Structure 1
Amino acid sequence: MRSDQATPVKLSDYRVPDHVVTQVHLDVVLHPTATRIRATSEVAPHRQGRAGAPLVFDGDGLMLASIAIDGVALATDAYAATPDRLTIHQPPRGPFRLTVETVIDPQANTQLMGLYRSSGTWCTQCEAEGFRRITYFPDRPDVLAVYTTRIEAEKKAAPVLLGNGNLVEAGDLPDGRHYAVWHDPHPKPSYLFALVGGDLAVVTDSFTTRSGREVALGIYVEHGKEDRCAYAMDALKRSMRWDEEAFGCEYDLDVFNIVAVSDFNMGAMENKGLNIFNDKYVLALPDTATDQDYAAIEAIIAHEYFHNWTGNRITCRDWFQLCLKEGLTVFRDQEFSSDMRSRAVKRIADVRLLKSHQFAEDAGPLAHPVRPEIYHEINNFYTATVYEKGAEVIRALKVLIGETAFRAGMDLYLARHDGDAATVEDFIACFAEAGGRDLSQFFLWYRQSGTPEVSVATRHDAVAGTFTVTLSQRHRPTPGQTDKQPMVIPLAFGLVGEDGRDRPLLDEDGRQVAAVITLDEPQKTVTFSGHPTRPVLSINRGFSAPVALKTDLTAADLAFLAGHDGDAYNRWQAIQSLATEHLVGASRGNTRPGGADAIAAALAHVIDGAAADPAFAAQALTLPSEADIAREMGAEVDPAAVFAARKTLKLHLSASLGDRLAALRERFATPGPYSPDAASAGRRALVNVALDLWAASGDDARLAVVEARFAGADNMTDRFAALAVLAQHPGARREAALAAFRERYRTDALILDKWLALQAAIPEDGTLARVEALLADPAFAMGNPNRLRALVGGFATGNATQFNRPDGAGYAFLARVVTDTDPRNPQVAARLLQAFRSWRALEGGRRSLARAALERVAGVAGLSPDVRDIVDRMLSEPGK
């Protein structure tokens, strides 16, 4: 456990390693508490490194057992070994073979980084810097080597032995032991190393690539859970085919294996040929997984598979380039899901996630560029900015240069940098070349933090028949960045006439222009001709750029766009804008007369047209969240007032739309057996959103209908949706339903995570006491990241009123859990602490209490670098 403040790492300090490793032979003898690793590396001086430099390998809590060069043991004065570093003072000037032996304790590895043991299974997690917890090594992404791994274990304890690449040898050994040798022919960085040993069941299948090669597929899970793997396997095969068709990327090994484990800090990991998954993103049956779970499994299976090219075949030169693999691969998995499901609905869902997580990150003390220039702890930069905003920047690039040039740029990138450890500059250069344009200003998206604010003003001249649009961009100061330059912001748009159709886009000379305005200066004015009557501007269609938009659209304009805009995303956004404006005003005690009725009218229009796309209607009927409202308020946020405003609007809609909502439930009930397909999921989503609005009144007869739906549901989606509605209404019905759910799924930890999170999110004064009691429930385990995220994370990020209690008890609770968790699992502790990211936007009383809780965390001696980094940035003065 490191207890010192990590030394800052700067992009500007990058230099090539002094030595490279070209081949690695690992001999791993698995043991619960004394696993022995012998690593033999082919080492050579880097041609651009420092001549005669000492050889320095990274470590983390290691104990050196032996060391030799070219088979000769080193004298003790020839090297220095500490738990965190191995230095050979005068290594050979030419290529040599280094053999290092270490012994580690997987059972005691509660950090779940490196090699650890989870529920009897040996497992690795090496991204970002976990390999150094296994053996001494230059643990950095730009050292690429070919790995051969021999794994040995007691056969009874670990009949399954898996590694990267292809299986080349296996056999039995004396004394009930056995071994397997895996070889990965593709050079890779150490963070992509993987190993699994355990008693696991396997579900197998195969895939034939476009060139006719047969790939063996395997999903390894706990015994008895084989029947939950079918959807994940189907998603994998669809991902492999889609990547061939959409990006020309064919799989390159003989096998592709997935292992699902229950103790995992992340969602999944893309290790070459051996993906390791949090089991919640693999296992699904209609009675155990919701439609959202199925969609997440599909997306994450695809994401990790797509890394085979964008992350593995082409990796990052250094961790500052993390967005190069993560942002790009998120973009690719979003495109995949859009093709598998409804493109419009997927776009809305992605923007919801971006605004709720990344916009909040951009607006607080944790703001950082998509490619940061400094970090203290790299684990803390696996953020919404790197992932989600990184994907949005690539989408904006595609809008800017066009689909044809974008595909040409991707083809060039994949061909030119296959086998490289690349940079963002390398990536952007391919698109500049393919599109024949200068993208140096566009690169500011990677350098400048914060969400750009775009203001739009319009003017109609009926006599001249012109419509003028004036756009301006503003960039607020963020930590470390006060003065910013204008960015390139591509805004897709349309001009909607009174008939609801897009009008031709003609400049002042009557020439057709593209449906994208590129704002690349502080202010820009564009005039369109041919408009004797005023059109309504539909701007940033499809959310073409990740900006905060402020327009001069009136409530009547928004209502018109909600019913007529040809862009589905902007139809949804118009409704959201109507509701958000009303809710922000109500939260501040300043409501506009008739505002709630206007929202009800817009939603009535959605209900009446729901048959065209039930999934879209479900999104449109979902009100802005409390986090959405707070974000738009910006400062002096009172979470209790926000909650009250939203609840009041919901009650109004429940009353005014009650009959329509009841009819909607009956009309779109999904007939027949459950299917996770997109159309069926869309109908269920619509019915359940309608049920939630309809029952918001708390009317006893309506809640009885919800109770009956809970008891009679034949799938987890409908059962849990009904339980979620009941959870919002105190009384015997709620407690009985929670108890029944607990009893039904008492042995299924993943489902009980839903039960824990749901109770943590109940917006009532007694919830903190409920959460404290649940810490002692057998369903909860403090050492399991999924349980912590469900209960404690569910409270801190999913319950704005109770986490932000005016007495500060919610803050004190989270601070205590963070400091208790930090010695065991710093990554999880640091991520829980990020629930404070918007504390400066709170009203004064809560702001002071939040600061006090953060200062208590900061005052704890021996904090991990992970938590120290987060708490110090949280408390740093704005602009520093």
Structure 2
Amino acid sequence: MRAPVEHRLEDYQSPAFAIDDVHLLFQLDPVATRVTSTLAMRRQRAEEPLQLNLENLVVESVALDGIELGESAWRIEDGRLIIEDVPERFTLRIRNRINPKENTALEGLYLSSGNFCTQCEAEGFRRITPFLDRPDVLATYTVRIEADKSAYPVLLSNGNLIEQGDLPDGQHYALWHDPWKKPCYLFALVAGDLQFIEDHYTTAGERDVTLRIYVEPHNIDRCEFAMQALKRAMRWDEERFGLSYDLDVFNIVAVDDFNMGAMENKSLNIFNSKYILARPETATDTDYEGIESVVAHEYFHNWTGNRVTCRDWFQLTLKEGLTVFRDQEFTADMLLPSIKRIQDVIHLRRYQFPEDAGPMAHPIQPKSYIKMDNFYTMTVYEKGAEVVRIYQTLLGREGFRKGMDLYFQRHDGQAVTVDDFRQAMADANGVDLSSMRAWYDQPGTPHVKVRRHYDADSQRLTLDLTQSLPKVGEGFTPLPIPIRLGLLDASGNPLPLVVGGEELGMEYVHLFDTRHQQLVLEQVPEGAVPALLRDFSAPVILETDLDDAEWALLAAHDPDDFLRWDALNTLALKALMEAVTAIERGEAPAWPQTYLDAVGVRLQAALEDPAWHALALTLPDEVTLGEQFETIAVEAIHQARKALQSELAQRFEVQWASIYDTLSAELDQPYTFNAEQYGKRSLRTLALHYLVQTGKAKWIEQALYHYQHANNMTDRFGALRALTGVEHAARKTALDDFYYRFRNDPLVIDKWFALQAGSDHPHTLEHVRMLTRHPDFTYTNPNRVRSLLGVFGQNRAAFHRADGSGYVFLADEILKVDKLNPQIAARLLSPFTQWRRFDTARQALMKAQLERILQVPSLSSNSYEIVEKSLTLS
């Protein structure tokens, strides 16, 4: 393997050449597609040869200003087509050949279920034709596609359809033109036997936009929800940010084989079918919510990513963090704002916080990379969104909108940086936001420690605030951390906040931007409890001196839905941590009465707010629990969580049964995806889960009955999940029935694979090993690989078996995938990157597998970067 090249932000140079206009001709063939690119170019920097990126293609000819160049005038070297001598302005024509059928990496042009499809972000366009494959080269595109009409009746690309017609020998063509300049990563092409549903949207500016969603014919009845989600997103973006769509057509195509969730190519979004196809019998509430979010996300990119794009890939969070924030805000408005916020924080703590603590930790603006594909991370996306949210918290919604307006006014049609975004926010509001730079430059999750000092005579409560950044150490730059706070009296009633003699209302955002600060609250009665970090106003780990009774008070009375959830979650974490410690000492866990009482209180009120209680009464998962310890005790954590589940199930069996029965009566109606039914189904499923955890035959049989008589996938799958971890004949009955019922539906069968891979059944590894030999398992479909191998890697108990067999198994599988699809293989390596967090024996076993992978001569650069950093960084 050639030594990987590291790319560094500090080495950025603007391109030596510009491309103003691109004409592409595609003559499609599964194994020998010919591409002719005609590029109108000009020099921007003197005395440099022209160097175009290329990968996995055959160059057949090169012509400069219409004159064919002999092979002595150009050469291919280290993934570049090099021409030493070109004029100031010129037209370059290149003819090349590619093989889409063999493109299992799913980058560039490839086949999915016999249809042609592209994926060019981040660096896939170089697999289509030699090009300046970087986001700061913006051009207009005209694309002609020629193909067999019977096999590929639909021919799509970016922009507007200019012309189409028939050709000799059963061929036909389509000519597309995109008038908006764009980088090549936003190029798209789709050709195949597809059908579409059509709708229309009239923008605020009275533009009539034709909307189409293209799918394979057998999926045509599963697109309507995605279409309505698109229309809702278009309206919301106009109302919230004043942003309207800018072309006459907007197309979406859903394909089965896709490395990502979706791609925002200008006017031709390509989606993993998982995020388009839905009907109640095959899609869960979670699927519907995901479709709403992802459809909106890709549409919102039309402005935050397309009209204003990234200067270079180190700026990725400029478009992704911002657009994730926008889709979070949209989804919150469409469903339940507080529920969405809690879900996002759970996701952040479950996936991004461990990333921040491990060897792959990086700032939201990485400083270097070997393969850019490896930096499509939770940090860049979700933590990036939290940083964008900080701007809104500091500036208010109106101030944030002013900043967005100025950002587009200044930079429409440009490739820009995170600094440009921050400056627009600052200038629009007349404030200095330079301290925000610290969030972009430093890796790791900040810790905020709060200690209280109360003076009864003066009725002053002093909050001593200390921030640290353990991943960086003592040399860290203090971060601007907004802490949204309130105050409750000893009975749980809200109190006004008084600081420096000024009454600030019932809630106040305090900007904590130094290593240490004191915040003095005045006129505070004895026993008052501060409510800190409401709405999770910054992505930090909060360490306070609140005791269990105070957390219980917040869980019962705080007006902020997030903080009430977080308080109960904190009590659960503390109880579980004590149980882990007891188990490691060989003792039985003793559950704190304060926590059990708090759960009892919530169960009494659960039917008043089902969606919130479904989240509040779900225990923290094993990964989140593991993050509370310096060394992750796999068995003790697993046993503790199982034991607390059992305790809550048995202690509150009557209450769970009552909730289940009441909601079953209320949900005896046709399925609808709306906030009310969503919440009720979530809580009923949780109640059924706890009832099964009692181990009683009657509840296992009830779960099987629930499974068999469900009229929607949410209920059916929820019952199946409850049964998957039990040692009972009902488990096999339900799993077998589910497979045979849905064996012809790939997306549903993905759920079947994932459920078994994530099960806490004691023989999960053996089940997963057998499933790799199942006729429906394939290594070439990313969804199927993620559903089995990806989920297994996140299954703490199964993957981390003490004998290391889980490590050997997954390492073997990763090497198989790496030969086909390096992007997916690199992501499967994620659970190995935390190897230093486990006991000495497991560390040695995991390290041995990483070293074995690293020794493979043909290892991809994607996997090499992950493994090498995992072994050398801490």
TM over 0.5: yes
* Higher mean displacement: 418-427 or 438-447: 438-447
Classify the secondary structure of the residue corresponding to 2:140. strand
Displacement of 1:596 after TM fit? 4.2
**SS at structure 2 position matched to 1:441:** helix
In structure 1, the residue matched to 2:793 is 796
Q: What residue in structure 2 maps to residue 661 of structure 1? A: 656
1:762 maps to: 759
Distance (Å, rounded) in 1 between the aligned partners of 2:388 and 2:362: 17
Find the counterpart in structure 2 of residue 497 from structure 1: 489
Counterpart for residue 865 of structure 1: 861
Quote the offset at 1:192 in angstroms: 0.4
Aligned to 2:273: 279
Structure 1 residue 679 displacement after superposition: 1.5
Distance 2:765 2:71 in 1: 57
Task: Tell me how far 1:402 sits from its aligned partner.
Answer: 2.2
Residue in structure 2 matched with residue 214 of structure 1 by the alignment: 208
1:177 aligns with 2:174: no
Q: AA paired with 1:755?
A: W
Tell me the amino acid that sits aligned with residue 832 of structure 1: L
1:787 aligns with 2:781: no
> C-alpha distance in 1, partners of 2:497/2:593?
34
**CA RMSD, 1 decimal:** 1.3
CA distance in 2, matches of 1:752, 1:568: 36
1:142 paired residue among 136, 140, 143: 136
TM alignment of 1:684-833, pairs within 5 A: 684-797=681-794, 799-833=795-829
Aligned residue for 2:360? 366
> Is the CA contact 1:60–1:83 (under 8 Å) kept in the aligned structure 2?
no
Aligned to 2:183: 189
**Is the Cα contact below 8 Å between 2:383 and 2:539 reproduced in 1?**
yes
Which string of whole-angstrom CA distances, capped at 9 and with x for unpartnered residues, describes residues 640-686 of structure 1? 11010001111110111111111111222313100011211111001
Q: Which residue of 1 aligns with 2:225?
A: 231
- The structure 2 residue matched to 1:87, chosen from 82, 85, 96, is 82
Contact 1:707 1:722 in 2 (8 A): yes
Paired residues of 2:578 and 2:589 also in contact (CA < 8 A)? no
Deviation by residue 1:444-499 (Cα, 9 ceiling, x = unmatched): 00000000000011122222111111110011135xx7731111111100011234
Amino acid at match of 2:533: N
Offset at residue 639 of structure 1 (A): 1.2
Give the aligned residue type for 2:733.
A
Which residue is 2:581 aligned to?
Answer: 588
Amino acid at match of 1:853: Q
- What is the rounded CA distance, in whole Å, between the counterparts of 2:522 and 2:385 in structure 1? 35
| Cα deviation 1:129-165 (Å, max 9, x = unaligned) | 0000000000000000000100000001100000001
- The SS at the match of 1:632 is coil
Deviates more, 1:591-600 or 1:500-509: 591-600
The match for 1:454 is 448
Q: In 2, are the aligned partners of 1:64 and 1:81 still within 8 Å (CA)? A: no
Q: 2:524 aligns with which of 522, 525, 531?
A: 531
Q: How does 1:351-362 map to 2 (within 5 A)?
A: 351-362=345-356
Q: Distance in 1 between matches of 2:863 and 2:650?
A: 47
Partner of 1:29: 27
> Hey, what's the Cα distance between the residues in 1 that align with 2:684 and 2:650?
17
SS of the residue corresponding to residue 628 of structure 1 reads: helix
> Contact conserved, 1:61 with 1:83, CA < 8 A, in 2?
no
* 1:829 Cα offset (Å): 0.3
Partner of 1:579: 572
Q: In structure 1, how many angstroms separate the alpha carbons of the residues matched to 2:199 and 2:819? A: 41
Q: CA deviation at 1:768?
A: 1.2
Secondary structure of the 1:468 match is: strand
Distance of 2:336 and 2:593 partners within structure 1: 30
Provide the secondary structure at the position in 2 that maps to 1:714: coil
Residue type at the aligned position of 1:620: A
What's the offset of the Cα at 1:398? 1.3
Q: Is the 8 A contact 2:483 2:512 kept in 1?
A: yes
Distance 2:3 2:118 in 1: 25
Match of 1:296 in 2: 290
Shift of 1:510: 4.4
1:543-574: CA deviation from partner (whole Å, max 9, x where unpaired):
00000010011000011100000110000000
Give the corresponding residue for 1:67.
62
1:253-264 aligned at under 5 Å gives the runs 253-264=247-258
Larger RCO (alpha carbons 8 Å, 6+ apart): 1
CA contact (8 A) 2:452 2:463 kept: yes
Give CA-to-partner distance per residue, 1:720-745, whole Å, 9 cap, x none: 00000111101211011110111101
- Partner amino acid, structure 1, of 2:705: A
In structure 1, distance between residues paired with 2:759 and 2:873: 33
Which deviations, in whole Å up to 9, do the C-alpha atoms of 1:76-102 show, x marking residues without a partner?
A: 222113482111101012x21110010
Q: How many angstroms apart in 2 are the aligned matches of 1:5 and 1:568?
A: 51
Match of 1:636 in 2: 631
Structure 2: segments with no counterpart, 5+ residues: none
Answer whether contact 1:265 1:827 (CA < 8 A) is retained: yes
Aligned to 1:542: 535
Output one character per residue of 1:401-433: Cα deviation in whole Å (capped at 9) or x when no partner.
222221111111111111010100000001111
SS across alignment from 1:822: helix
Give a deviation string over 1:234-285, Cα, whole Å, max 9, x none. 1000001101111111000111001010011111000000000000110001
TM-aligned CA deviation for residue 500 of structure 1: 2.3
Letter paired with 1:688: T
Q: Could you tell which deviates more after superposition, 582-591 or 54-63?
A: 582-591
CA distance in 2, matches of 1:509, 1:374: 49
Match status 1:623 vs 2:619: yes
Question: CA contact under 8 A between 2:579 and 2:589: conserved in structure 1?
Answer: no
Cα distance, 1:687–1:394 mapped onto 2, change above 3 Å? same
Amino acid at match of 1:806: A
SS class of match (2:135)? coil
Displacement, 1:511? Answer: 4.1
Any conservation in 1 of the 2:19–2:139 contact (CA below 8 Å)? yes
Structure 1 SS opposite 2:868: helix
Give 1:602 deviation, angstroms. 1.4
- Structure 1 residue matching 2:164: 3-state secondary structure: strand
1:499-551 Cα shifts (integer Å, max 9, x gaps): 42321111242443770111111111111111232311110100000000100
**Structure 1 stretch 14-23 or stretch 774-783: which is displaced more?**
774-783
Q: Secondary structure of the equivalent of 1:442?
A: helix
Closer, same or farther in 2 for the Cα pair 1:91/1:482, shift >3 Å? farther
Conserved in 2, the CA contact under 8 Å of 1:453 and 1:548? yes
Deviation at 1:5, TM superposition (A): 3.4
Answer yes or no: is the 8 Å Cα contact 1:460–1:534 preserved in 2.
no
Stretch of structure 1 that moved more, 81-90 or 277-286 = 81-90
Q: For the residues of structure 2 that align with 1:599 and 1:754, how far apart are their CA atoms?
A: 34
Structure 1 segments unaligned to the other structure (5+ residues): none
Name the SS of the counterpart of 1:124 in structure 2: strand
User: What TM-score, normalized to structure 2?
Assistant: 0.98
The verdict on how the C-alpha distance between 1:424 and 1:14 changes in structure 2, with shifts beyond 3 A counting, is: same
Q: Give the 5 Å matches for 1:232-247.
A: 232-247=226-241
Superposed displacement of residue 593, structure 1: 8.4
Give the share of equivalent positions with the same residue, in percent.
Answer: 47
> What one-letter code is carried by the residue in structure 1 that aligns with 2:180?
H
Any idea what SS the aligned residue of 1:542 has?
Answer: helix
Where 2:85 maps in the other structure, the secondary structure is coil
SS in 2 for 1:308: coil
- Does 831-840 or 248-257 show the bigger shift? 831-840
